[in-house]
Amino acid sequence: MQSYTDADAHAHAHAHADDAVSTALTALLAELRSHIPADRVLTDGPEYTRAVALFNAAVDVRPSVVVRCATTADVQAGVRASRHHGVPLSVRGGGHDFWGRAFRPGGLVLDLTDMREVQVDIDGRVATVGGGALSSDVVSAAERVGLTAVTGTAGAVGMVGLTLGGGYGPLIGQFGLAADNLLGAEVVLADGSRVNTDAENHPDLFWALRGGGGNFGVVTSARIRLHPVPTVVSGTILYPIAQSAGVLAGLEEILQGCPDELTVDVGFLPGPDGEPTVYVAPTWSGDLEVGNAEDGPVRTLAGLGTPVLTDVGPVARSAALAATDAMFPPGRMGAIRTRTVQSVSGSVATVLDRAAQEFTSPFSAIVWHQFHGAATRPPLGSTAFGRREPHLMVELISMWEGSDGKDNAGRGDGTSPHLRWLEELHAALEPFSLPGGYVNFLGPETPDQVAHAYGPNTERLLAVKSAVDPDFVFAATPLPLGTADAGSMPV
């Protein structure tokens, strides 16, 4: 007779655990499929494989179930089922987040990519956009009627996710953050209920949505203010890195006195020959004749040195977004960090220049974005966004192809040369940086930045979180640690 060993006991326990998981999943699927067509509840197969592909190929997180939502009712059913069965919940919009926070291991994903409709009210200059709409969807729809939306620089980014986290972009000086242009939203809360929120209805929830990230519910649709600027003067100017000191000094003076109509992204990119270059990407959103003049504000930026490329002129905003998408296609591996600085001069310029000369991949980049003009004028407490004084938001982007960087989504031990470059640069900027950072680019590696991301808005933001989602069902962008007594706060 064979004896019953510890190994047998271990295997037996595992078998029971597997049976329990299988039974729980079967019950979850049964509830979902009683409300949602079975072909939109995915657990495997080609459709599932396509649904779990994200922008960042370094993300290695697999959910148990993907629900391809087509309506708000689908979202409500998904939220309730996840709560009933204790399954972690996440939401996928554009799927562009570097950490892959659209997914949670073994969780249920509410995939909004089929909810991409965009309806434009021409007279009211308002777009009503589905929760899964990309920035390019919104800009293209608005452009057809002579309008545009405030977005970031890339078209493949989800419009709602960008907006909820704040939304820096090339129209920031003229029209503020994307969040400043959010007029209202339909939201499914953690109990599965649906609310419509704006400045008059559930005002605390509306306040939190403008900068607080996707931590308060599922935004199934949003109303966004549009502007009559379908065409801008924009493009790219590249300088050799040997001219970095003079170009950045000249840019510093120009950026300090920028009119609202001119916003300039600046950075370092590997050039066509693999050598790093100084990258200058202006966007003029004012009068086209003024912006495109030979001695105008845009072409002046090509006179800061001897550029190796000057490609600027009038362009549809949809084309400008597509150009950025082409620079950063999906399917590469990558990680991102961010810092906030008051200027790029002196020691900051030296740190960035040195890092650019040490790029470990031809796909990496350092880019800083202006925060100026209209974005600085709302009172700090008017939205959840945590900073309103002029500054520069610096993106530190490490991207590579293949498997030479073994760390997953930036969470590894730093042995990858790409991640080591990123972390060393991030650390080198710390002494010159303001507290906090842009929440859409903050992750678990930087709790010190997360702690200060919302400044004096932190207490109110956590109070709203406690009121609408006390069980932390939704975890999109990071929130500061802390407790808040929501009391009877109306949301």
| Per-position pLDDT tens, the chain of length 491 | 445 555 554 544 444 445 555 778 999 999 999 999 999 999 999 999 999 999 999 999 999 999 999 999 999 999 999 999 999 999 999 999 999 999 999 999 999 999 999 999 999 999 999 999 999 999 999 999 999 999 999 999 999 999 999 999 999 999 999 999 999 999 999 999 999 999 999 999 999 999 999 999 999 999 999 999 999 999 999 999 999 999 999 999 899 889 999 999 999 999 888 899 999 999 999 999 999 999 999 999 999 999 999 999 999 999 999 999 999 999 999 999 999 999 999 999 999 999 999 999 999 999 999 999 999 999 999 999 999 999 999 999 999 998 665 544 444 454 699 999 999 999 999 999 999 999 999 999 999 999 999 999 999 999 999 999 999 999 999 999 864 433 333 44
Query: Quick one: which of 252, 237, 397, 212 has its CA closest to 309?
Result: 237
pLDDT of residue 21: 56
> What one-letter code names the amino acid at 438?
Y
The dihedral over CA atoms of 64, 104, 102, 391, expressed in degrees to the nearest 10, equals -170
Kindly report the pTM of this predicted structure.
0.92
| Burial of residue 316 (number of CB atoms within 10 Å: 0-12, 13-18, 19+) | middle
Query: Quick one: which of 69, 76, 36 has its CA closest to 186?
Result: 76
pLDDT of residue 54: 96
Query: Quick one: which of 191, 215, 186 has its CA closest to 80?
Result: 191
pLDDT of residue 403: 66
pLDDT of residue 64: 97
CA distance 449 to 443: 9
pLDDT of residue 187: 98
DSSP 60-92: ----SEEEE--SHHHHHHHHHHHHHHT--EEEE
Q: How far is CA 121 from CA 128, 145, 196, 429, in A?
A: 8, 10, 18, 44
pLDDT of residue 11: 46
Query: What is the distance between the terminal CA atoms of the chain, rounded to a whole angstrom?
Result: 67
